[in-house]
């Protein structure tokens, strides 16, 4: 297994706040691309750090910013206590998230070592929505969203399908067919908005998987779906980043 260099860095955000981010990169060879890794609602926890490490092992300079830094810096939630994360989710504002992702993207660009090295983004759950948001405001080369709640309109908000026409790069979307949080009406609305906007996308629905199927620390973990999603994600990124 490849040796990694991991560390925490502190980023300056345009609104005057500071934000910690977890960084992983290959120790023996230069990274060939940058990757923004966006957290679930449970913070930049052991699972998200592990995912960040996994991408570093295949050659990325990977950075996972703490998106709850305004309300709970260092927060790591417990998977069976969703109520504890709700105040932090409710406090999120798209304008603040845009500032956070711009600061994260700038850090990657400054630390990749070459201006031509590409940057992509990936996110899980609420981070899947942030990946879609990033694709709409920054020149990433590829974006991946795992069960991104809030991309389509839902009872908690209006969604962001009005941004579909602004996407800079192909978007890969993963959904769980058993996901009661994100129903087919939402997943179909996302696909229809991207199709109408003429944007390239890949829509993958694992019929026997639930919300959070990629996370091996959650009861909903689906090993087969997770293994296939990992392979598809790497193929998608390799194709569009040219690596």
Active site residues: 125, 179, 211
Q: Of the candidates 76, 73, 64, which has an alpha carbon nearest to the alpha carbon of residue 107? A: 64
20 touches 66 (CB < 8 A) = yes
Q: How many helices (H) and strands (E) does the chain have?
A: 7, 8
Q: What is the dihedral of CA 163, 197, 228, 138, to 10 degrees?
A: -40
Residues forming a β-bridge with 204: 174
d(CA 68, CA 75): 7
DSSP element (H, E) containing 203: strand 201-206
- Output the CA torsion sign for 190, 54, 41, 95: negative
d(CA 214, CA 140): 23
Residues forming a β-bridge with 43: 40, 76
Q: Of the candidates 210, 150, 205, 211, which has an alpha carbon nearest to the alpha carbon of residue 174? A: 205
How would you write 198-224 as a 3-class SS string? CCCEEEEEECCCCCCCCCCCCCCCCHH
- Output the CA torsion sign for 105, 111, 114, 115: positive
């Amino acid at each position: 297994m490849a040796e990694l260099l991991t560390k925490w860095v502190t980023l300056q955000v345009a609104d005057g706040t500071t934000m910690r981010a977890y960084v992983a990169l290959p120790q023996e060879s230069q990274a060939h691309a940058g990757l923004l890794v966006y957290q679930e609602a449970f913070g930049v926890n052991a699972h998200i750090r592990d995912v960040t490490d996994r991408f570093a092992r295949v050659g990325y300079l990977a950075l996972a910013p703490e998106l709850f830094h305004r309300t709970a810096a260092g927060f790591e939630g417990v998977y069976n206590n969703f109520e504890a994360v709700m105040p932090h989710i409710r406090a999120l504002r798209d304008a603040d998230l845009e500032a956070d992702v711009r600061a994260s993207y700038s850090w990657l660009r400054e630390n990749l070592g070459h201006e031509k090295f590409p940057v992509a983004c990936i996110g899980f759950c609420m981070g899947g929505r942030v990946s879609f948001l990033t694709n709409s405001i920054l020149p990433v080369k590829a974006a991946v969203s795992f069960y991104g709640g809030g991309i389509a309109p839902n009872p908690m908000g209006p969604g962001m399908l009005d941004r579909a026409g602004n996407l800079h790069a192909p978007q890969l979307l993963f959904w769980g067919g058993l996901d009661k949080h994100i129903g087919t009406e939402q997943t179909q609305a996302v696909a229809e908005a991207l199709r109408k906007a003429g944007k390239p996308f890949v829509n993958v629905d694992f019929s026997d998987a639930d919300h959070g199927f990629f996370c091996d620390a959650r009861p909903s973990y689906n090993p087969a779906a997770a293994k296939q999603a990992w392979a598809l994600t790497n193929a998608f990124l390799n194709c569009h980043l040219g690596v």
